[in-house]
Every structure is written in structure tokens, then in C-alpha cells.
Amino acid sequence: MKGETILSKRSRILYIDKDILYAQIENYLALSRDLGETWEPLAVELAPGIKSYSRLHNRLMRRSLHCAEILDDGSMALTGKGAIYKLDKDRKALQNTFSIMRGSRPLNLSQNQSGALYWGEYFRNPERQEVNIYGSFDRAQSWSVVYAFGPKQIRHIHGVFCDPYDDKIWITTGDEDNESAIWRTDYQFRDMEKITGGNQQARALQLAFDQDYVYFGTDTPFETNHIFRINRNTAKIEKIISVDTSIYWWCRVGKWLFFSTAVESSRVNRARYVSVWGSPDGQDWGCVLKFKKDCWQMKYFQTGQVLFPQGENLTGHIFYTPLAVEGDQSLQRLKIDDLG
């Protein structure tokens, strides 16, 4: 792709705050004020559960930071293997504020406009025990259960998302037909409404919001996957486009919306390339980037995917990190104007 720039290797993009980037660069947390050209260290020594010694060691041991939120005191909350962390700016270190006992980490972390933080448990859960949503109301210093899905109700939580346009929380769950659903509730978790569910076309990881629609891509190994959107006014669910494998991650750059697929082991999802699908208006979609799966076995060295930063991106560039595909664990940048 014309204009594609590799900024750094053995890196993972985490967050963007308008035009400031946050990333894990090898074994430290850093920020960039010049679109990734140079980096300033924020945490110079990561915890043992995050620290890795090579790209393959990182993939094998799942040792990296995963997602982040900027807090109103200028600090950060982050997820990593086995823990939720808070950045101690004075010590330039990460403080473990919650040790995760079930699963390795949640798949997302979300913050509402009042500064409350939420995440949901993601673990194998073969016995279908109850599954918790945790919240923090003191800038990630402490965590407590704010809601629990009952036994046999779901397998695990894919994501908890604070709607930036109203006072609601949306939740995605999986994995069997009766467990796959998109839910909506208020910040008190008083009324848990199932927006859609009961089949694999309601099995989603992440949700993308704008004023008119809520977008999602399906994550099923059993059926053809699609990008959908939910009309906020009518609650109508519209199938927009079919894709060749499961959808994992999303980001927004200005008016552009992007979803990335994953190379995974499935009789239905047989693609050997990760695709990044983009749309300038939410209606017309096209494949804008492709990455070939590398030679390393997925069971141990992870499925092929492309990671995006959380946060608001006003740079006019899309930032991303390929994982387990060509360009593995490099931080890359592409100017939106070069998409055509």
C-alpha cells in the first residue's frame, strides 16, 4: 500500500489521544507526540507477566500490554497478562491494582464520561459458572463486581463498552448460540436488555459507535462472518457486507471506520490473510490492507490479526500492529488520503 510506514519493531500500539500515541516498545511503555517518529518513556520496566525477551517469546507466553485508557488525572489504566495495571507516573512504573484469577486478561477496557472503568471476565469456563463485570470508580485503584451473568447463562464476556452518545453500557458475550448476544444496560446495571442474540450472527467481540448506528462484526468459526449495524432509532439490524473470516478489532480515524479480521483454525474460516476493512461512511466497505499469516503454529504462537489503538484519532493516519502475520509486532502508520 502506498505511503505505508513501519515506525518501530517489537512494538504494540495501545491508545491514541487525539494526536498523542501510546505504545509498548519492547519492554517499556512510551508516548509519541510526532506520529510515532520518536518516543518518550512512561514506564521503563514492565512487570514480569508483561516482560518478554523476543517476538516469539512474547507470542508464546502472551506477554504484552493489551489495551489502555487515559484517566482524568493524566495517568493510565492498562490490561496485561494476569492483571489490571495503573501507571505510576512519578515512579515510571506499572502498579498491579487487580490480579486476574480466571483467564489471562479481559479483551477490552472501557471508560465512561464520568471516569468509571469497566471490564468483563474472559476465561474458558467449561462448567459455565457465573461471569462477572468489574468496575472501578477511583481511577483504577480498586475494583469490585458491578454485575454478574448467572450460571449457564453465558460462557464469557467478549467486551464491555461505554456508549459515548448516551448513558448506556453495551456488552458482547459468547460463544454457543444461546450464549452469543449483544446486551445493553444503564450504568447502574438495573435493566439488562438483550438487543440481539441466540445465534452465531450475534457473536461479536467489539462494538463501534456513532450518532446513528452501532456497528459490529461477527466472530464465528462455524458460519460466514459479516459486518452489521444497529439503527439507534429503530433498533433494526442491517447486514452490510460478508467477510472471509472472523472479525476481532476496530478503530475510527476521522469519518473512517475500520474492522480487522483474523486468521484462525476453522473449517469455515479458511482465509490465510488478515484483512482490514474500511469505510468512509459506514455503508460502503472495501478491503484496504492485507497481511499473510506467518509460518508459526497458531495454537502456540497466536492467530493472525491486526491490532488497533483505542481512543480518539485526529491525525489523519491509521496506526496498527500486525500480530502473527507478515510485519509481526511492528508499529505501522498509513495516511488516510492514500486509501483513495
DSSP codes of every residue in 65-126? EEEEEE-TTS-EEEEETTEEEEEETTTTEEEEEEE--SSS--S--EE-TTS-EEEE-----T
Question: In degrees rounded to 5, what are phi and psi of residue 126?
Answer: -65, -25
Could you count the other beta carbons within 10 Å of the beta carbon of residue 97? 17
**238, amino acid identity:** E
pLDDT in tens, 225-245: 999 999 999 999 999 999 999
Domain that residue 319 falls in: 5-339
pTM of the model: 0.95
Q: Check which CATH number belongs to the domain holding 295 and give it.
A: 2.130.10.10
The total number of structural domains in the chain stands at 1
CA distance 41 to 199: 45
pLDDT value, residue 105: 94
Q: Pseudo-torsion of CA 61, 302, 308, 78, nearest 10°?
A: -30
pLDDT value, residue 3: 56
Q: Identify the segments of the chain with pLDDT beneath 50.
A: 1-2
Instruction: Cite the beta strand spans of 190-328 per DSSP E.
Output: 193-197, 204-209, 213-218, 225-231, 237-243, 247-253, 256-261, 273-279, 286-292, 305-307, 310-313, 317-323
pLDDT value, residue 90: 87
Could you count the other beta carbons within 10 Å of the beta carbon of residue 270? 11
pLDDT value, residue 340: 64
pLDDT value, residue 266: 87
* The C-alpha cell that represents 316 in the structure block: 489523519
